[in-house]
Every structure is written in structure tokens, then in C-alpha cells.
């Protein structure tokens, strides 16, 4: 189904409307969509359902890409093989957020982090959240471990990992 732009006439949003979250309150999206995850992310998500994290190795640059990609953007060639990496890693960067995706305020902050997984290359990481740690205790270089959903609750999604906690 295509979306016709005339169905959604645009207009300028006033600062007052943003402050009042007028935009978020006004529009309720009911959208149906399908998304093909492709071979790399499809296998990555299947792995998560099984409680493992998969990456792809490029034999030319010797990097291990996580999340996996079928094509190495540095070597301009197909990646070569699947690699299982650990569910432990190191916080490379993080952000403490008091704002939800709908711009509403959070009482307790959420800590979003890039985690470089053990076994993956040094220059790649996955974006996830941290748990079981106070914001003021989070540090770059902190060692963390994935906390998984129970096996029967996993769906093959990044949220099969609930969060990463300090180890």
C-alpha cells in the first residue's frame, strides 16, 4: 500500500505545540508494514532467539562485524563466514536519557550504550541499554554481560537481550 502525501497535508509546527507535545497527541499512526531482515540480520535475530550472538568475518580486513553484514564496506567484498561472539563486552560510549521516544519525560533514566562485544572487532559495537547499574556508576570501558529473556519468551529480536549489566 502506498501512502499518498495528500492524505497527510503538512504544516509548520509552532514551538508552543512542541512544548505541549501537541504533535504527539494529535496523530495516532496505525501503520502496517513488513520488513525483510535479509540474510545477515535474519541470522543474527535467529541467533538471539537461541541465546547466541552471531557476527560475520571478513577474511581480507580480518574484522568481525556485529551486527553481521554480508558485505564488508571497507573491502568492497562479500564477508566470508559466521562467527559466534560472546555476550560479554565493554561499554564504548553511553548516554543517560530522561526522555522517552515520544518526548515524554522519564522519572527514572534509561542508559543507552554502545557495547563492543568480546570476539567482535574493536571498531564495531551494538546499541543496547544498561541495567542493574546506577547512572553515576557507568563508565566507558566498563565490562558488561547480557541479561537474556527466558528462552521461551524470546522472539528473535534485539529485545531478547533485556539489557547489559556490569560484571
In whole angstroms, what is the distance from residue 50 CA to residue 160 CA?
A: 9
72 makes contact with Zn ion (CB under 5 A): yes
Among 21, 25, 60, 78, binds Zn ion (CB under 5 A): 60
Among 61, 110, 114, 147, binds Zn ion (CB under 5 A): 61
Residue number with CB closer to Zn ion (122 or 139): 122
In whole angstroms, what is the distance from residue 41 CA to residue 99 CA?
A: 28
161 makes contact with Zn ion (CB under 5 A): no
Binding mask 10-49 for Zn ion (x = CB under 5 A): ----------------------------------------
Report strand pairing: 53-57 vs 81-85: antiparallel
In whole angstroms, what is the distance from residue 160 CA to residue 128 CA?
A: 11
Amino acid at each position: 500500500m502506498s501512502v499518498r502525501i495528500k492524505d497527510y497535508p503538512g504544516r509548520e509546527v509552532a514551538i508552543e505545540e512542541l512544548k505541549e507535545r501537541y504533535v504527539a497527541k494529535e496523530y495516532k499512526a496505525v501503520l502496517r508494514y513488513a520488513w525483510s531482515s535479509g540474510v545477515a540480520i535474519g541470522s543474527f535475530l535467529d541467533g538471539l532467539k537461541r541465546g547466541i550472538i552471531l557476527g560475520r568475518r571478513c577474511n581480507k580486513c580480518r574484522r568481525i562485524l556485529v551486527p553481521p553484514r554480508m558485505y564488508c564496506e571497507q573491502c568492497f567484498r562479500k564477508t566470508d563466514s559466521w562467527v559466534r561472539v560472546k555476550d560479554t563486552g565493554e561499554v564504548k560510549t553511553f548516554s543517560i536519557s530522561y526522555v522517552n521516544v515520544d518526548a515524554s519525560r522519564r522519572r527514572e533514566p534509561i542508559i543507552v550504550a554502545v557495547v563492543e562485544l568480546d570476539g567482535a572487532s574493536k571498531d564495531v559495537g551494538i546499541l543496547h541499554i544498561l541495567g542493574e547499574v546506577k547512572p553515576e556508576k557507568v563508565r566507558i570501558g566498563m565490562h558488561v554481560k547480557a541479561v537474556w529473556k527466558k528462552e521461551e519468551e524470546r522472539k528473535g529480536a534485539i529485545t531478547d537481550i533485556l539489557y547489559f549489566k556490569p560484571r
